[in-house]
Amino acid sequence: MFRQAKWDEPLIFELSHPGRVGYTLPKPIEDVEVEIPEKLKRKSPLNLPEVSEPEVVKHYTRLSEMNYGVDSGIYPLGSCTMKYNPKINEELANHPKVSFIHPYQDERTVQGALKIIWELEQWLKEITGMDRFTLQPAAGANGEFTGVMIIKAYHLDRGETQRTEMLVPDSAHGTNPASAAMAGFKVIEIPSNESGTVDLEALENAVSERTAGLMLTNPNTLGIFEDEILEIAKIVHKAGGLLYYDGANLNAVLGKIRPGDMGFDIVHLNLHKTFSTPHGGGGPGAGPVGVKDFLKDYLPVPLVSYDEEKDMYYLDYNVPKSIGKVKELFGNFAVLVRALTYLKIMGRDGLKEVSEVAVLNANYLTQKLKGTRGYELPHKELRKHEVVFSAEPMRKETGVKALDVAKRLLDFGMHAPTIYFPLIVHEALMIEPTETATKEELDAYVEALKKISEEAYTNPEIVKSAPHNTAVRRVDDVLAAKKPIITWRMYRELKEKGEVDY
C-alpha cells in the first residue's frame, strides 16, 4: 500500500538564497548592446527564486513523493480510466526524433511524424467504425467542442438554422453541456429512467425540429450499457438530429463494440484514458474526433493524407467546409506517439482483452461489495467498466458521507473513487478499477470499503476526521474559496497585512 511522504516542504520561493543559480546559459553569438525602448524596458523587480540545480531537484523530488499516481497503487477514479501506462510509450515519446522536430518543417523532413498521425487515424477508424479522424483536439473537452461545432456547421450548411438545441442526459459528464453551451447551443437535459439509462419517453418528448443532436456516453457514467441505443438513435435521427458519442467510457467496449455500428455519427476519444497515455496530473491529454463520411468535410484543418503514388504523407488543407482550427498546429503529437505504441503492442486480441477484463474487474468488485452495510447499489446490477454505489444509507444512519469514505480510503494507502458524480446518485461512489488492477488489489479495495463501513457504524468519528496518515490532514476547501490565494504574490500581500497565519 502507498505510504505518502510527509515533507514540510516550503515553496520554491522560500528556498531562495540571493546569488544562487540553477543553470548556465550559452554566451551570445556577438556581444552587441541592443537597446530596448525605454517605455518597454523591465522596471518592476523579477521576484523569482534563486536556487541551485541540486535544490531544484530535491524540492520537486520531495513534492513528487507527496503525490499519488497510477504507479503508486490502485487508482479507481470512475470515468477517468486510470490504467497502467506502459513505459515503452514514454521511451518512444521522448525520442529525439519526436522532441526536436518543428511543426513547420518541410513535409519531406517529417514523414515519420506524419506517418504516425496517419497510422493512428487508421487504428481509431477501425476501433470506432468512423470514416475520418482529426487528431488536433488537445483533450476530451476540446474534442467535444470540435464535435458540436461540426454538428452546428452541418445543420447551418443545410440551411437548418433553427436547430439550436443540444440534448444531454442528466448522467452526462459536465463537459458535455459546457461544450454544447460554448458552441452556442441551448442545452436540454434528458432524465434517466429507473434502470439508469436514457428515458425514451422523455427523449421522444424532447426532440423536435430544433434538435441539433444528442450527446451520449455508452456505457454511461453509471457503468450501464444503454441497451436501447438503436431506439435512441432512431428517435434522434428521425427528428433530424445527429448522435454524438462521448468516448470517455470506451474502455468498456474497446475492440468489441463500435460506436459507428450503434448509430453514432461522431465520436471523440480520450487517448489519456482508453489508450494508456499518462494523465500528468491533469494533462496533457488528446481528444481525437471521428466522423462518418457525410461529416468529413467539416473537420478541423489540416488532416494528414497519404499519396500512394509518391509514397508521401502530407498535410491536407483541402477540407472544404472545415470548422477551422480548435487548437494550434497538429494537436498533442507526443501523446499520439504514446497511443500508437500502445495500440501496436495490444493489437486486435489485446484490445478485446482490455474491455473484457475491465468489465470483469468492475463486476467482480460490484458483486464483492454488494450487500455491505451502508452502501446501496442503485439501478441495474450488471455493470460495464465502472460501478456507482450510493453511500446514502450510511449518511442517514451514521452521518458518514461519501466524502468521508473517500478520505478514509486515503489512510489505507489507496486512491478514492470519484465522488458525488453522477449527480443523479446521492452520495455517489463511482469506482472504475480498469483492466490493470490485480485481483489482490480488488480484494483489498473491497476489504477497505467494508472496514470503513464497520467503522462508520462503530466509530464514525475516525472516518469523519480522516485522513490521518497523509501529508496533510483534511484540507479546508471552504477557506480556500472564501479567501482565494492563487499565487505567491497574493500570499505575500495578505501575509504583509497579517491576514494569513499559514
Partner 1 sequence: MAKHYIPNSAHKEEMLKEIGFSSIEELFADVPKGFIKELNLPEGKSEYEVFLEMNEILERNKTVLEMPSFLGAGTYFHYIPAHVKYLIERSEFLTSYTPYQAEISQGMLQALFEYQSLIAELVGLPVVNASMYDWGSAMAEAALMTVRLHRGKRKKFVVPKHTHPERMQVLKTYGKGPGVEIVTVNWNERGQIDLEDLKEKVKDAAGVYIEMPNFFGLLEEEIQAVGEIAHDAGAYFVVGVDPTLLGIVEAPGELGADIVVGEASYFGNPMNFGGPRAGIFAVRNDPKLIRQMPGRLIGMTKDAEGKRAFVMTLQTREQHIRRAKATSNICSNEALVAVAAAIHIATLGPRGIRELGEVILKNTTYLKKRLKEVAELPFDGVNFKDVLVRFEKPYKEIHEHLLSKNIHGGYYVKPHFPELGEAALFAATETTRKEWVDALIEALREVV
Among residues 316 and 356, whose Cβ is nearest to partner 1? Answer: 356
Q: Does 29 contact partner 1 by CB under 8 A?
A: yes
Q: Which of 215, 354, 387, 449 binds partner 1 (CB under 8 A)?
A: 354
User: Interface with partner 1 by CB under 8 A: which range of 86-94, 239-247, 371-379, 392-400?
Assistant: 86-94
Max Cα-Cα span within the chain: 77
Among residues 309 and 478, whose Cβ is nearest to partner 1? Answer: 478
In DSSP terms, which residues pair with 214 in a beta bridge?
167, 243
Q: Does 306 contact partner 1 by CB under 8 A?
A: no
Q: Does 281 contact partner 1 by CB under 8 A?
A: yes
User: Interface with partner 1 by CB under 8 A: which range of 79-87, 236-244, 290-298, 447-455?
Assistant: 79-87
The string over 184-193, giving b where at least 16 C-beta atoms fall within 10 Å of a residue's C-beta and e elsewhere, is ebebbebebe
* C-beta of residue 415 within 8 angstroms of C-beta of residue 409: yes
Q: Does 278 contact partner 1 by CB under 8 A?
A: yes
Among residues 173 and 296, whose Cβ is nearest to partner 1? Answer: 173
Q: Does 183 contact partner 1 by CB under 8 A?
A: yes
- Please report the DSSP string for 267-307 in residue order: EE--TTTTT----TTT------EEE-GGGGGGSPSPEEEEE
Q: How far apart are CA 6 and CA 62, in angstroms?
A: 9
- Helices 111-128 and 333-369 cross at an angle (nearest 10°) of 30
Among residues 397 and 447, whose Cβ is nearest to partner 1? Answer: 447
Q: How far apart are CA 433 and CA 125, in angstroms?
A: 27
Q: Does 487 contact partner 1 by CB under 8 A?
A: yes
Q: Does 184 contact partner 1 by CB under 8 A?
A: yes
Among residues 115 and 396, whose Cβ is nearest to partner 1? Answer: 115
User: Interface with partner 1 by CB under 8 A: which range of 65-73, 235-243, 390-398, 454-462?
Assistant: 65-73
Residues of this chain, 200-219, that bind partner 1 according to CB under 8 A = none
Q: Does 193 contact partner 1 by CB under 8 A?
A: no
Residues of this chain, 136-165, that bind partner 1 according to CB under 8 A = 138-142, 144-145, 149, 152
Residue 216 C-beta: closest distance to partner 1, Å:
15
Q: Binding marks (x or -) toward partner 1, 102..141, rule CB under 8 A?
A: xxxxx-xxxxxx-xx--x---x--xx----------xxxx
Residues of this chain, 231-270, that bind partner 1 according to CB under 8 A = 253, 255-258, 261-262, 270
Residue 213 C-beta: closest distance to partner 1, Å:
15
Residue with cell string 504507479: 71
User: Interface with partner 1 by CB under 8 A: which range of 174-182, 203-211, 233-241, 291-299?
Assistant: 174-182
Dihedrals φ, ψ of 388, to 5°?
Answer: -110, 115
Residues in contact with 49: Cβ distance below 8 Å, sequence separation at least 6, in sequence order? 12, 13, 15, 16
Q: How far apart are CA 448 and CA 440, in angstroms?
A: 12
Q: ω into residue 467 within 30 of 0, thus cis?
A: yes
| H/E element, 388 | strand 387-390
Q: How far apart are CA 223 and CA 381, in angstroms?
A: 10
Q: Does 454 contact partner 1 by CB under 8 A?
A: no
Residue 67 C-beta: closest distance to partner 1, Å:
3
